[in-house]
Amino acid sequence: MDFKDKKAVIIANDISEDSPRQKENIELVKSLGAEVISVLIQNIQRINPKYYFGSGKIEYFSNISKELKADFIVVCEDLSPRQLQNVKDEFDMLVIDGNQLILELFNQRATTAFGKLQVELATLSYMYPRLRGMRKDMDRQFGVMGMRGAGEQKLELDRRVLRKRIDKLKEDVKAAQVVLDTKSKMRSDSSIPIVSLIGYSNTGKSTLLNRIIELSGADEDKRVYADDRLFATLDTHARRIELPHGGDIILTDTVGLISNLPHQLIDAFRSTLLEIKKADLLVQVLDISNKHLDVEIETTENLIKDLGLGDKKIIKVYNKADKVVDKHIYADADMVISAYNDGDVRSLLKAIELELYGETVEDTKFFPYSEAKELSLFMENNQIISKKYSDEGTVVTYTKYLKRGL
């Protein structure tokens, strides 16, 4: 579906159109490229089994949307397939719910073959119980969400065909996962610690990863895509980074989180999220400029709990300090930084190094001339301060970690 420059009306059960939840809904719609022309709410005390909302309110919402000449409606509630169809019948225009909104956004953002497989599986799993109600939308729209290419033709979708496609996608995802698991195992089996950036969508994780790549001297072609929008990237990236005193880490950037993420997406991306479990250290990235930071913190910490990561060491980093005047220090903050400040990023690298390897001291080691190969290997794997030659061999002064190994 092409939502670019389309006009949207958001409908939700809430007490205020300025609530954190509605602010997030507005950002999601904007991320699709659409314009939010109105937010309509009803504070529901009792759910209407037919529409979810009261029948009088649905009629009122429909009239307002038509007067505003909306192109589509976003109902940000978990409607049953029957409720969603009844609402569509009342509005007589394209209506999507909050889950479909996020799924469509993921469809736009997926770039890798594996990411596209995961998103299509999540999308079709969502569509399956709602197929009957979606046929009108497919008649109204050119193409089928989640099925690019051939899906842009008008397809006859029935439950049998859809079920067959879902089963095939599950097989493809499982096969692709085997390849990724092999790469992941190679990283886990190496002696190099794994550090994962974890956090809400649009907290600056990818920007932070790029700044670390730049300052650590890694190749510029290792940079990842970053943008100031929700779900700018869905892919997990892994980069080898050299720490200030010579130690190495594998730094990974995981898919961003959001409150009320559709369970179809959680299921599809579970294997990706479980990559976090293999990390030796988590860096939780939070947006200090977010006015609704409590929602962001709760969502991230719930995931950490759900994935059984509570026993892992976490460095809690409040990012985007450049966007606030009053840099309020939260009691649980390990660091408050801006990813665009070189000093802040270097301080984070030092904190990671300290946690993984411990303090550093200066030490010396002697290599007789007969151990030239051993000397060469040692110099490759340690931060060398100086070396001196004697009649018997070479004395190397180097930086030694007090805590080596995990």
Query: What residue ranges do the domains of the chain occupy?
Result: 7-109, 113-181, 193-357, 360-401
Sign of the CA dihedral with 55 first, then 60, 66, and 71 last? negative
- Give the pLDDT of residue 269: 61
266: nearest Cα among 99, 51, 389, 386: 99
Question: What are the start-end ranges of the E strands in 254-359?
Answer: 281-287, 314-319, 335-336
Place of tokens 């190994």: 405
Residue with tokens 């309509």: 40
Q: What is the 8-class DSSP label of residue 70?
A: -
pLDDT higher than threshold 90 for residue 71: yes
Residue 388 has pLDDT above 70, yes or no: yes
CATH 3.20.20.70 matches 193-357: no
pLDDT of residue 253: 80
For residue 341, the model assigns a pLDDT of 93
Structure-block tokens of residue 171 = 């097989």
CA distance 281 to 312: 7
Tell which wins on pLDDT, 225 or 327: 327
Q: Is the pLDDT of residue 150 over 50?
A: no
- End-to-end Cα spacing for the chain: 48
Give one word for 279, left, alpha or beta, with left for phi > 0 and alpha for psi -120 to 50: beta
Question: Which of 32-41, 133-142, 258-267, 334-343 is the least confident region?
Answer: 133-142
CA–CA separation, 306 vs 300, rounded Å? 10
Q: What is the pLDDT of residue 143?
A: 44
C-alpha–C-alpha distance, residues 213 and 220, integer Å: 7
Q: What is the pTM of this model?
A: 0.64
**Higher pLDDT residue, 26 or 130?**
26
What CA–CA distance (Å, rounded) separates 363 from 177?
A: 44
Residue of higher predicted confidence among 175 and 15: 175
Q: By C-alpha distance, which of 184, 404, 374 is closest to 276?
A: 184
Separation CA 346–CA 208 (nearest Å)? 11
| pLDDT, tens digit, 9 for 90 and up, residues 155-170 | 455 678 888 899 999 8
273: number of Cβ within 10 Å: 18
When the pLDDT of each residue in the chain is averaged and rounded to a whole number, the result is: 79
Measured in whole angstroms, the distance separating CA 125 from the mean position of its chain's CA atoms is: 21
Structure confidence at residue 303 (pLDDT):
76
How far from chain centre, in Å, is Cα 45? 34
Binding positions for GTP are 199-206, 231-235, 253-256, 319-322, 338-340
Q: How confident is the model at residue 156, as a pLDDT?
A: 53
Fold match between domain 7-109 and domain 193-357: yes
- Ranked by mean pLDDT, the top range of 304-313, 347-356, 394-403 is 347-356
Query: Which residue ranges make up the annotated binding site for Mg(2+)?
Result: 206, 233
Partners of residue 8 on adjacent β-strands: 36, 72
Mean pLDDT of 322-344: 82
Provide the pLDDT for residue 154: 44
Quick one: CA dihedral 233, 184, 186, 111, positive or negative? negative
* Res 144: pLDDT: 46
Strand ranges inside 101-221, DSSP E: 194-199
Lowest mean pLDDT among 100-104, 126-130, 233-237, 281-285: 233-237
For residues 107 and 310, give the distance between their C-alpha atoms in angstroms, rounded to a whole number: 31
Look up residue 257 and give its amino acid.
L
Cα separation, 403 vs 109, in Å, equals: 41
CATH 3.40.50.11060 fits 7-109, yes or no: yes
Nearest C-alpha neighbor of 377 from the set 362, 365, 392: 365
- The pair phi, psi for residue 249, each rounded to 5°, is -140, 160
Residue in the block written with tokens 């892919």? 235
130 has pLDDT over 70 = yes
